[in-house]
A and B are shown apart, each in its own frame.
Chain A
Amino acid sequence: DQQVKQNSPSLSVQEGRISILNCDYTNSMFDYFLWYKKYPAEGPTFLISISSIKDKNEDGRFTVFLNKSAKHLSLHIVPSQPGDSAVYFCAASYVDRGSTLGRLYFGRGTQLTVWP
């Protein structure tokens, strides 16, 4: 049961343009969302996150937007650079002291390729 979905397995963008990566979720208990970036032969690296009480969080070239009513979030990268080429994972979590303790639920990732 995939609770976090990234429906685009790949995205190709020209350098300097905007990259938009999308993510949908089904579990309304999620209250924190994260984006991780992964290069080959490395573990996922935290990129940016957003709490469910916000609808936007910005960090330099990276902005995450959250639409709770649509259960949708997106990551915008502006401007895109060749070094941004990697797999981007969307993840979500919630804390329920009776069971979960912050485990992350991941999407399957989107391979972003930024070409010169």
Chain B
Amino acid sequence: AAGVIQSPRHLIKEKRETATLKCYPIPRHDTVYWYQQGPGQDPQFLISFYEKMQSDKGSIPDRFSAQQFSDYHSELNMSSLELGDSALYFCASSPRPWDSSNEQFFGPGTRLTVL
């Protein structure tokens, strides 16, 4: 079965550079969530999109922006990178965001390292 695809899997950037992470949801899933997991931390919700519109916003820095495109894939853009941005970034998709029985399907994650 098709799963959530994230690219790249690994990314190394210098401080103050820009990074773009991509997420391709499971076909027919119209909702995408982004989570950030720092070392030894729990995954923290960043932002979500439903039908190409931002549906919820969590602890996402102003330096980050995201969007969902017409084919439902999503991109997380991160500018002025800081050392503290080094983390694992997960994307998840879901077919039913309005239902709290909302099983989210996660991608393998992108490991971002900022030097």
Chain B CB within 8 A of A42 CB: yes
Contacts of B4 in A (CB 8 A): 43
Q: Is the CB of B106 within 8 A of A95?
A: no
Known: A101-B50, A103-B48. A43 touches B42 (CB 8 A): no
Of residues 91 through 113 on chain A, the ones whose CB sits less than 8 Å from some CB of chain B are 93-95, 97, 99-109
* CB <8 Å contact, B98 and A44: no
Return the contact of B41 from the options A44, A97, A103, A108 (Cβ within 8 A). A108
| Binary interface encoding of chain B residues 95-115 relative to chain A, with 1 for a CB under 8 A from any of its CBs, else 0 | 001111111111111000000
- The verdict on B68 contacting chain A, using a C-beta distance below 8 Å, is no
Residues in chain A near residue B41, CB distance under 8 A: 108
Interface residues of B (CB under 8 A from A): 4, 6, 31, 33, 35, 40-45, 48, 50, 55-56, 58, 90, 92, 94, 97-109
A-B contact count (CB 8 A): 81
- Whose C-beta in chain A lies nearest to the C-beta of B50? A101
Q: Which residues of A contact B99 (CB under 8 A)?
A: 95, 102
Q: Are B58 and A43 in contact (CB under 8 A)?
A: no
Is A103 a contact partner of B103 (Cβ separation < 8 A)? no
Collect the chain B residues with CB atoms within 8 Å of residue A109's CB.
42
Contact assessment for B103 and A107 in the assembled complex, using a CB-CB cutoff below 8 Å = no
Q: Tell whether, in the assembled complex, residue A102 and residue B97 are in contact, meaning their CB atoms are under 8 Å apart.
A: yes
Known: A44-B43, A45-B106, A109-B42. A103 touches B33 (CB 8 A): yes
Per the bound structure, the CA–CA distance linking A104 and B56 in Å amounts to: 11
Residue of B nearest to A44 (CB): B106
Return the chain A residue nearest B103 by Cβ.
Answer: A46
Assess the B43–A101 pair: CB atoms within 8 A.
Answer: no
What A residues does B105 contact at CB under 8 A? 46
Which residue of B has the minimal Cβ distance to A3? B42
A41 beta carbon closer than 8 Å to chain B: yes
A and B contact pairs by CB, cutoff 8 A, 12 listed = A2-B42, A32-B101, A43-B4, A43-B92, A43-B107, A44-B106, A45-B106, A100-B56, A101-B50, A101-B97, A102-B100, A106-B43
